[in-house]
Structures are given as structure tokens and as C-alpha cells.
């Protein structure tokens, strides 16, 4: 019997599908809170392009950027 608890989490999720194993003392109370969408299929490049070209409630990014000299994107 092991004296540690193991939890597997995604690591470098934006680059690879690697996993990291975290180990904690057996006596610790560990809870895992997954973010919304964790079990959903990942979006593909076509979905991202389509969302940028046809955003909900806004003009396309290309139109918003017209006449601008610089840019910045923020994601939430």
C-alpha cells in the first residue's frame, strides 16, 4: 500500500497532450476542480478561424482592426 495519493493533471495543454503526476501525502485531503469544458472535445483550427471571422455580438476582428497601427488580443 502506498503512502501517497497521486493525481494526474494536463501539462503544457496548449502545446502537447502531456500529463504530470502530482503526489501528496496520504493524509492530505485533496479535491480536484476541473474547469468548465474539461471533458469536451478540443476545438480545431477551423472552429477558431470561423469564430474570429463570425464573432457573436461583434464585428469580425479584421473589421475592428481596420485603420489601426497596432493591436493586442486578450482572452478570458
SS (H, E, C) 35-58: CCCCCCCCCCHHHHHHHHHCCCCC
Containing structural domain, residue 32 = 4-57
What are 26's three cell numbers? 496520504
Task: Answer whether residue 63 is part of any domain.
Answer: no
Task: Answer whether residue 44 is part of any domain.
Answer: yes
Interatomic CA distance for residues 46 and 37, integer angstroms:
19
The answer to whether the predicted template modeling score (pTM) of the entire model surpasses 0.85 is no
**Residue the block writes with cell 495519493:** 5
Query: Total domain count for the chain?
Result: 1
Query: Is 1 in a helix, a strand, or coil?
Result: coil
Task: Answer whether residue 49 is part of any domain.
Answer: yes
Task: Supply the pLDDT for residue 18.
Answer: 84
Task: Answer whether residue 41 is part of any domain.
Answer: yes
Task: Answer whether residue 47 is part of any domain.
Answer: yes
- Per residue of the chain (76 residues), what is the pLDDT tens digit? 578 899 988 887 666 678 889 999 999 998 888 888 888 888 889 998 888 888 889 888 788 888 988 877 777 6
Interatomic CA distance for residues 48 and 45, integer angstroms:
5
Task: Answer whether residue 26 is part of any domain.
Answer: yes
Amino acid at each position: 500500500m502506498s503512502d501517497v495519493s497521486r493525481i494526474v493533471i494536463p501539462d503544457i495543454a496548449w502545446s502537447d497532450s502531456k500529463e504530470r503526476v502530482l503526489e501528496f501525502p496520504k493524509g492530505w485531503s485533496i479535491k480536484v476542480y476541473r474547469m468548465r469544458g474539461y471533458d469536451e472535445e478540443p476545438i480545431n483550427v477551423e472552429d477558431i478561424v470561423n469564430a474570429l471571422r463570425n464573432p457573436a455580438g461583434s464585428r469580425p476582428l479584421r473589421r475592428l482592426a481596420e485603420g489601426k497601427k497596432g493591436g493586442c488580443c486578450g482572452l478570458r
